[in-house]
Amino acid sequence: MEYNQAFAVIFGLKFTFRCIAFRKGRQAAVSATARKLAVIIWHMLTYRIPYNPPTQYLFLDEKRKLKLVQRIRKNIAKLDLKPEELGFATA
């Protein structure tokens, strides 16, 4: 594993630990972080792939915004609307 990937793993787990420790307490954070690490290792061994860390950890409000955009796009496609009908016409 490259140094950058190792750093990403450590930073991601550290970030996870701190968030959970703040909300649920230290003992729950230790358990959750250990489980997350075990799941990562299990996937790497089972599928024989190197660890591919997420490029960015999103906060909950950012995740909600992305889901909202996906839902809106899905509804627009389902209703077969065009951008001009919605007022999104580009020049």
91 residues of the chain, pLDDT tens digit each: 455 656 566 677 888 888 889 989 999 999 999 998 898 889 889 999 887 766 666 666 777 888 888 998 898 889 888 777 777 766 5
**16: exposed, middle or buried (C-beta count within 10 Å: 0-12, 13-18, 19+)?**
middle
Neighbours of 8 (CB within 10 A): 18
pTM of the model: 0.52
Q: Can you list the alpha helix ranges (DSSP code H) found in 1-91?
A: 3-24, 26-47, 60-78, 83-86
**Phi then psi dihedrals of residue 81, to 5 deg:** -95, 155
